[in-house]
Structure 1
Amino acid sequence: MFDTLYKWFWWDKLWLPAELSWADLEDKEGRVYAKASHLYVTVPYAFGFLLVRYLFERWIAAPLAISAGIRHRVHLRVEHNPILELFYTTHSRNPLQADINGLSKKSSLPVRQIERWFRRRRQQDHPGVLKKFREASWRFVFYLSASIGGITALYDKEWLYDTREVWTGYPKQSLLESQYWYYILEMSFYGCLLCSVAFDVKRKDFKEQIIHHLATLVLLSFSWCANFIRIGTLVMLVHDASDVFLESAKLFNYAKWEKTSKGLFVVFAIVFMVTRLIIFPFWLIHCTWVYPVYYYPAFFGYYFFNVMLVVLLFLHIFWAHLIFHMFRKFLFGTLIRDERSDIEDEEGQETSPTEAEDVEQHKPFNGSSSDAANEKNGCFGLSPPRNTCLSKTMS
């Protein structure tokens, strides 16, 4: 049965046009082609990236953060309560008033104490600025390196300037060494992101990020095996361009360089819209949708590849909506936080236990899913200055 599934999976009519077979992608006549077996190396490379990331964050990003005035802040750990902890982990981090009343009866604790426990428990899980800075530093270094590497590998290639050249001579397009390393390192990095997603800062678009990483890996793997290498390199280059400015904007925001952060955010928004909503659909998807049928009849791999590109496009539209929403608030001076971030107190606005109790006496916690009542008087309860609120653009 396994042999049958293996033969069906690698049936050349699924991957290649009807006129072609895997024999056309065997090394011959001085040409070297990409092989599925090459992708196995991305697994140890992904774990290697995890090690490099750990060392980078520990020995480079952390000292850099400290030099920028960012310190690790230790959260006061709440007293362990199995009843409240079970509700927190399995039901909701923000219990409704009815839930709080029920928990009060079960645990024999006052309502006020339960409200305080949940607020402190959320603060305990909330990632600090130092953690965010370290993560953003790592991603910035990779995206910058990948962008430079991509430009270096493609600047003299004709298909960078004329997408019709992507399919010229297909499938007899020899794999270049620069393409090999560009692909392997990019796929290893996305594999690293999937491995680290469990302990990275979790945001509202967590599910969309998972879909994006999986779709990217599937897309790159298919393009590698079917020798769609040229279009694959273009897709990677377009996707890395805007991420460089996003991560740099975050870094300057964490370091409280507000003007620089805002400027980079504007550049990021422009580059994102141009690369992912204009170049990606109207150049790259057009290239994979229109030009191939000039050379070969449409086949399964043709439709599969384009569907995966469209999945990425829908994710781009989703993120563009969030970016536009943030940009609108940014222009009119009402931006309080990153639309992707969880609704929790930022580290700079956290209260001490004594301060929190004092605030509670004047502002009862309403048990809702957000701290909207506190937002009315500031970012989250302590009425910080307006420019501090605006500094949360890239949290």
Structure 2
Amino acid sequence: MGALDQWLWRQEYWLPPGITWEDMQAQEGAHYPQPRDLLVTLPLALGFIVLRYAFERLVALPLGRRLGVRDRTRVPASPVPHLEAFYSQRSHQPSQVSLRCACAQREILCLAKHCDITRRQVEAWFRRRRNQDRPSNTRKFCEACWRFAFYVVAFTAGLAVLIDAPWFWDQRECWNGYPQQSISQAHYWYYLTELAFYWSLLLCVSVDIKRKDFKEQIIHHIATITLLGFSYCSNYVRIGTLVMLVHDSSDFLLESAKMFNYAGWRKTCDGLFVVFATAFLVTRLLVFPTKVIHTTLILSMEVFAPFFGYYFFNFLLLVLQALHIFWAWLILRMVYKFIFQGKVERDERSDEESGEEEDSEEEEETEEEECSWEKRNTSPIDSRLAILTNNCVLNNLTNQRSSASGRLPKSR
């Protein structure tokens, strides 16, 4: 352990040539960043998780009801033990798991034969079962509301503590006296609070809503945590504060657009999306590479010779920039749809549960066949209740489709 600790904290990794850890010891009237300061982020991350739990239930949930957030009515899948065991133990889509079968459809046929039902009834059961596990609009609204609240506070606080900083206006000041640059209490807490928040996002990733860009989000969280932690130990705090401010400047706009989207405020959502897309493209594709990356790659070379931390820090920044380009491509697709179709159908950047619309359309086609199957596989009393429930649900779906058809043209 001692050898590993000595290898990990070698000054050649973290500090420019000619600077030692002894030079970074706190002097009278000055505080330099120390690696042990990062331990504060772990209890802060746990505090964020507790605060989020309380915020979503005490603030986000009532706010969502007032804004009109409504959950979709979903027909539950009838209890079939064999299909439920396959769903929970093997796969949510049986046609994609069996490599031993000569044909992909053979897995569904085997399940249909075992349960004495048709192939279409098996497919309908799995569609309904997947719909039961999909997150509701209320849950998605609460998650977006929590992130919106944090990003608004973080961006406001970051702008307040950086507006008077010399490196906010002249990026060359990021390297004036580097690395022996003292850190103020305001910048200290701003930095560690942001790092703790991303720790909380990473800890909650298994229970959060799994979105279209789930893998990219994992990479983003890990890269951000590594970037913030390494930059703090190497005293890249000045440039790090600019990185955080650039990211927070557009993130709260995205979360607000999501909130109004789940509440059904289409015009407000579309307007916020246009503002978000503009802010994102300007800050991530123009400001970030020309101000931040150019500063770390080019201007820093005027002060010190390249070392391991220089290459590693810039590598992480380039990873973030690659993610920015990926998300910008998704956003530009949405802008294209918004301009030529007059609406934004979904958040392609990070809020699409894949396959839900396709499942809903296919479910409508097999509704009558599924209902007749449920009648045959239930007791007389349960059959009457199931018929009554299905009739109510079908009436609700019919009313929803009829009201929607009065507003929008059919797409099929």
Query: Under a length normalisation based on structure 2, what TM-score does the superposition of the two structures give?
Result: 0.83
User: 1:208 aligns to what?
Assistant: 216
**Structure 1 residue 109 displacement after superposition:** 2.8
SS of corresponding position for 2:19 = coil
Number of the residue aligned with 1:343: 354
Q: Which amino acid aligns with 2:230?
A: F
**Residue 15 of structure 2 corresponds to which residue in structure 1?**
16
- Of residues 202, 213, 229, the one that matches 2:237 is 229
8 Å CA contact 2:69–2:263 kept in 1: the answer is yes
- 1:357 pairs with 2:360: no
Q: Which amino acid aligns with 2:61?
A: A
Does residue 130 of structure 1 match 2:138?
yes
Deviations 1:13-67 (A, max 9, x none): 1111111011111001421111111111111111111111111110111111111
Correspondent of 2:312 among 304, 314, 332: 304
1:58 aligns with 2:57: yes
* Partner residue, 1:372: none
Contact kept in structure 2, 1:122 and 1:344, CA below 8 Å:
no
Which residue is 1:371 aligned to?
A: none
Give the equivalent residue in structure 2 for 1:48.
47
| Per-residue deviation, 1:4 | 1.0
How far apart in 1 are the matches of 2:149 and 2:344? 27
Structure 1 counterpart of 2:2, one-letter code = D
1:152 paired residue among 160, 163, 167? 160
CA contact (8 A) 1:77 1:124 kept: yes
For the residues of structure 2 that align with 1:302 and 1:71, how far apart are their CA atoms?
A: 50
Decide which of 150, 175, 182 is 2:183's aligned counterpart: 175
Q: Deviations over 1:185-215 (max 9, x none)?
A: 1111111111111111111100100000000
Cα distance in 1 between the residues matched to 2:245 and 2:237:
12
Q: Which residue of structure 1 aligns with residue 93 of structure 2?
A: 93
- Report the equivalent of 2:34: 35
What amino acid is aligned across from residue 342 of structure 1 in structure 2?
A: E
Write the letter of the residue equivalent to 1:338.
Answer: D
Between the aligned partners of 1:231 and 1:103, the Cα distance in structure 2 is: 58
Map of 1:163 onto structure 2: 171
Superposed CA deviations along residues 96-117 of structure 1, whole A, max 9, x for unmatched, are 6443223223443321221111
* 1:69 paired residue number: 68
1:123–1:344: 8 Å Cα contact kept in structure 2?
Answer: no
Task: Check the 8 A contact 1:36/1:225 in 2, yes or no.
Answer: yes
Q: Structure 1 residue 77: deviation in Å? A: 3.8
Distance 1:39 1:6 in 2: 16
TM-score, with length taken from structure 1? 0.86
Structure number with the higher helix fraction is 2
Map residues 253-272 of structure 1 onto 2, 5 A cutoff.
Answer: 253-272=261-280
| In 2: Cα distance, 1:87 partner to 1:386 partner | 41
Given that residues 24 and 171 in structure 1 are in contact (C-alpha distance below 8 angstroms), is that contact kept between their aligned partners in structure 2?
Answer: no
Q: Which of 186, 192, 200 is 2:200 aligned to?
A: 192
- Aligned counterpart, 1:370: none
What is the correspondence of 1:79-90 to structure 2 with a 5 Å cutoff?
79-89=78-88, 90=90
1:277-321 Cα deviation digits (max 9, x unpaired): 111111100100112221111000000000000000001111111
CA distance in 2, matches of 1:354, 1:274: 43
Which residue of 2 is the match for residue 275 of structure 1?
A: 283
**TM-aligned CA distance change 1:359 to 1:265, over 3 Å:** farther
Using a 3 Å threshold, how does the CA distance of structure 1 residues 125 and 105 change in structure 2: closer, same or farther?
same
Residues 93, 118 of structure 1: 8 Å contact kept = yes
C-alpha separation in 2, matches of 1:113 and 1:359: 7
The verdict on how the C-alpha distance between 1:160 and 1:99 changes in structure 2, with shifts beyond 3 A counting, is same
Q: Give % identity.
A: 48
For 1:387 and 1:192, the matched residues in 2 are separated by 42
Q: CA deviation at 1:86?
A: 4.9
Larger Rg over CA atoms:
2
Q: Which runs of 5+ in 2 are unaligned?
A: 96-103, 372-399
Supply the distance in 2 between the matched residues of 1:387 and 1:163 (Cα, whole angstroms).
Answer: 52
What is the number of residues matched between the two proteins? 367
Shift of 1:358: 3.9
Q: In 1, are the aligned partners of 2:223 and 2:319 still within 8 Å (CA)?
A: yes
> How far has the Cα of 1:72 moved from its partner?
4.8
Distance 1:81 1:110 in 2: 14
Which blocks of at least 5 consecutive residues in structure 1 are unaligned?
362-380, 390-395
Is contact 1:143–1:244 with CA below 8 Å preserved after alignment? yes
CA distance in 1, matches of 2:199, 2:326: 23
Two-structure CA RMSD over aligned residues (Å): 2.6
Distance 1:8 1:100, change over 3 A: same
Q: Equivalents in 1 of 2:405, 2:8: separation in Å?
A: 60
Contact 1:252 1:261 in 2 (8 A): yes
Query: What is the deviation of 1:75?
Result: 4.5
Q: Quote the offset at 1:387 in angstroms.
A: 6.4
Q: Distance in 2 between matches of 1:207 and 1:8?
A: 31
